[in-house]
Structure 1
Amino acid sequence: MSVQTDKANLALSAQDIPQEAFDWYDEYAHGDIDRRTFLSRLGTLSVAGLTLSVVAGALTPNYALAEQVSFNDPDITATYVEFDTPNGHGKGRGYLVVPKNVSAENKAATVLVAHENRGLNPYIEDVARRLAKAGFIAFAPDALFPLGGYPGNDDEGRAMQKTLDRAKIEGDFMDAATMLKNHSLGNGKVGMVGFCFGGYLTNALVANMPETINAGAPYYGTPSKTNIDKIKAPLQLHFAEMDKRVNATWPDYEKALKANDVDYQAYIYKTANHGFHNDSTGRYQEDNAELAWSRTVDFFKQNLSA
C-alpha cells in the first residue's frame, strides 16, 4: 500500500473517531494514563465500522507517513552532529540540515527545532528538512542523547525522557541555540519552532535567552515559567481549538505578553486537536497544518533576515 493511500485511509478513519478518543490519547501521550488504560477506554467506544485496532492505529504514530522531504533531497545536506552542552548534560547530539546553496559567502538564518516529549523522532527530523528546503539552516537536538538517543518508538522514548532532568534538557537546547547563533554559515539570527513539549521549550528559550532567540513559533506549547517580562523576540503561537489542556494556559500567558508589550500573533485552528501538525497520526489536519506551516515559514523569513 502506498504512503498516499495510507494517509487517505488515516484521514478517513479519523473523521469517525469520537473526540473522547483524541482526549484520551492526549492523556496517554503526556503520561497521565498508561497504555492499558488508554486501550481499555478505547474499547468502551462504539465506533461504527472501526475496530479497536483501527482506532488505536489511527491515533498512534506511523512514521512511514511523515516524510515530506527525503533525506536524499538534492537541495539539502543532512547529518548528525555532536555539540558541547555545559548548561545541560555536557554533550548533545542533533540533526543538522543545511541548504546546498549556503556558504560562507551566502549565509542563511538558523532555526532550532524542538521535539515533543519522546525524543528526536522521524517526524521532527522531517520538519528540520522542510525548513532547510525553505532556505534555513535547521538543527533538531535529541534530548535523549544522554540515554543513547531516540529508541525507535515513542512509548519507550516517552518513558526515557521522563527520567531526565528537565532543567538539563533546557540547558541542552539553550546551548544548541548558542551554537546556532555562532554557526559559521549562519547570519547570526536564530529562530525556534517546537511542538508540544518543544512548544514549551520555545516559550522558555524566548523568555530566558532574549539576546539569542530572534523569533519563536511554539505549537501547542505551555508558557515559560520564568522571565516572560524579558521577551524581546516576536512570537507566533499556534493552538488547536480542541486542546483544552494547553489552551487553559493561554489567557494568563496572553495577559502577560500584552502587559510586557511583546510582539505576538496567536492562531487557534478550528476543530483541530493537539498535535494537528504531526502528519503521522490521525490527529493530523492537512489544511490546518499547511496553513500553520506557511505562516511559520513566512514569519521566520520576515524576522530572521540579516
Structure 2
Amino acid sequence: MDQLPETPPAAEMISPPLFERLGRRGFVGSVGGAAGYTLAAGPVMAQTIVTTPTDGLVAGDVSIPAGDRALPGYRARPATGRDWPVVLVCQEIFGLHEYIKDVCRRLAREGYLAVAPDYYVRQGDAAAAPDVGAAAAIAGRKPDDELFRDLDATLAWAGQDGGSAEKVAIIGFCRGGRNVWAYSAQNPRLKAGVAWYGPVAGQASALTPRVPLDMAADIKCPILGLYGEADTGIPVDSLRQMETRMREAGKRFTLVIYPGAPHGFHADYRPSYRKDAAEAGWRLMLEFLKGNGVS
C-alpha cells in the first residue's frame, strides 16, 4: 500500500493538491460497498463528539410519504433560498440517531438539503435495538426493492421541500455505504455517490439479490469510496476486486484508504472514531460532490 498503483483512463483521480495534502499512503486505486455490514466497530458511546448548531438552518424530524406508510426522517437545509442540492443520507444499522442527524446538519451548513429516511421502520426500531446483533437482524430484513422505493419517495419529498431535482447525491455509512452502491446502480438521476466503509462482498439473498461486486456494470454515477486500512470486515483484496470490475465496466471511481483507520472511523459516537481520517474524508467528500455538479 506504499505505492500508488497505475490508474487506467476510466478511473477518476484526486486532484494533485488534495492528494498531496492527504499523503500518498492514504490512497489505493480501488472501490467498494456490499450486502452486509461490519459488527466490529465498537459499542455506542454516550454522545457524539461533533455537535452542529441549527442557527441559520431549518432542521428537524419529518414524515415522508412512502407507499404503504410514512417514513420517519430527519431533514436539515438552509433557512433561506431554494433549489438546494439534495443529499440522501443512508444510516448505519443503528437507526436514525443523533450522529446521522448531525451529519445532515453538517451538510446543511454547506448549502445542501440533507435528508435521512428511517427506511428500516417496517422491520423494527433499530435505534432501540438492545445490542448490535438485534440491530443487524433488523437491517438484514430490508429488501432491496423496498429500499429503492423508499429512497425514490425520499427524493420526491425533498423536491417538494425545495430541493433541486437535478443536483442529487447519496452518501452512506457501513450498511448505508452498501446501500449507496445499490442505489447508484438503480437511479440514473444521481450525480454522485459516497460510500463510507460499505462492504463490497458477501452473500446475496432473496432480499438482497446482488452484492456491489455484481453491480459494477450498472453503476450510474461517479463513486467515492472512503475506507480504513485496519477494517477487519472489509478486506483490501475485495476492494481491489471491485476496482477491477469498475475499470472493466468503464466506470468513474475514486477510492481512498486511510492508513490504520478501522471500520466506522467517521462515527464520532463510537471508539472506532479517528478524527484525522474522519475530517480528511469529509473534506474530500465535499470536494467530490462539488466536482460532480452537486453544489
Q: 1:240 maps to which residue?
A: 228
Rounded to whole Å, the distance in 1 between the matches of 2:294 and 2:228 is 29
CA drift at 1:233: 1.1
Rounded to whole Å, the distance in 1 between the matches of 2:115 and 2:130 is 20
| Paired residue secondary structure (1:281) | coil
| Paired residue secondary structure (1:65) | coil
Q: 1:17 maps to which residue?
A: none
CA drift at 1:161: 3.1
Rounded to whole Å, the distance in 2 between the matches of 1:138 and 1:228 is 26
Q: Which has the higher contact order (CA 8 A, sep 6+)?
A: 2
Is the contact between residue 240 and residue 272 of structure 1 (CA under 8 Å) also seen in structure 2? Answer: yes
Match of 1:83 among 64, 84, 92: 64
Give, as a single letter, the amino acid of the residue that structure 1 aligns with 2:42. L
Q: 1:108 maps to which residue?
A: 84
Tell me if 1:190 matches 2:168: yes
Give, as a single letter, the amino acid of the residue that structure 2 aligns with 1:213. L
Give, as a single letter, the amino acid of the residue that structure 1 aligns with 2:43. T
Tell me if 1:122 matches 2:98: yes
CA drift at 1:153: 5.4
Larger-Rg structure: 1
Tell me if 1:293 matches 2:265: no
Cα distance 1:94–1:166, how it changes in 2: closer, same or farther (>3 A)? same
For residues 188-208 of structure 1, the C-alpha deviation after alignment (integer angstroms, 9 at most, x for no partner) is 211111011000000111111
Cα distance 1:298–1:85, how it changes in 2: closer, same or farther (>3 A)? same
User: How is 1:127-276 mapped onto 2 (pairs within 5 angstroms)?
Assistant: 127-146=103-122, 149-152=125-128, 155=131, 157-180=135-158, 184-186=162-164, 188-209=166-187, 211-223=188-200, 224=212, 226-247=214-235, 248-276=237-265
Give, as a single letter, the amino acid of the residue that structure 1 aligns with 2:178. Y
Cα distance 1:238–1:266, how it changes in 2: closer, same or farther (>3 A)? same
Structure 2 alignment gaps of length 5 or more: 1-36, 201-211
Cα distance 1:138–1:267, how it changes in 2: closer, same or farther (>3 A)? same
Alignment size in residue pairs: 245
Q: Please, which moves more after superposition, 255-264 or 144-153?
A: 144-153
Is the contact between residue 232 and residue 262 of structure 2 (CA under 8 Å) also seen in structure 1? Answer: no
Give, as a single letter, the amino acid of the residue that structure 1 aligns with 2:57. I
Structure 1 alignment gaps of length 5 or more: 1-28, 32-37, 39-57
How high is the TM-score relative to the length of structure 1? 0.72
| Paired residue secondary structure (1:78) | strand
CA drift at 1:258: 0.6
Q: 1:64 maps to which residue?
A: 47
Cα distance 1:151–1:218, how it changes in 2: closer, same or farther (>3 A)? closer
Rounded to whole Å, the distance in 2 between the matches of 1:62 and 1:191 is 29
Alignment RMSD (CA, Å): 2.6
| Paired residue secondary structure (2:122) | helix
Rounded to whole Å, the distance in 1 between the matches of 2:72 and 2:129 is 18
CA drift at 1:125: 0.9
| Paired residue secondary structure (1:79) | strand
Rounded to whole Å, the distance in 2 between the matches of 1:228 and 1:157 is 28
Is the contact between residue 108 and residue 187 of structure 1 (CA under 8 Å) also seen in structure 2? Answer: no
Percent identity of paired positions between Structure 1 and Structure 2: 26
Is the contact between residue 65 and residue 71 of structure 2 (CA under 8 Å) also seen in structure 1? Answer: yes
CA drift at 1:187: 5.1
Give, as a single letter, the amino acid of the residue that structure 2 aligns with 1:222. P
Greater share of residues in helix:
1
Cα distance 1:63–1:212, how it changes in 2: closer, same or farther (>3 A)? farther
Tell me if 1:74 matches 2:63: no
Rounded to whole Å, the distance in 2 between the matches of 1:94 and 1:239 is 26
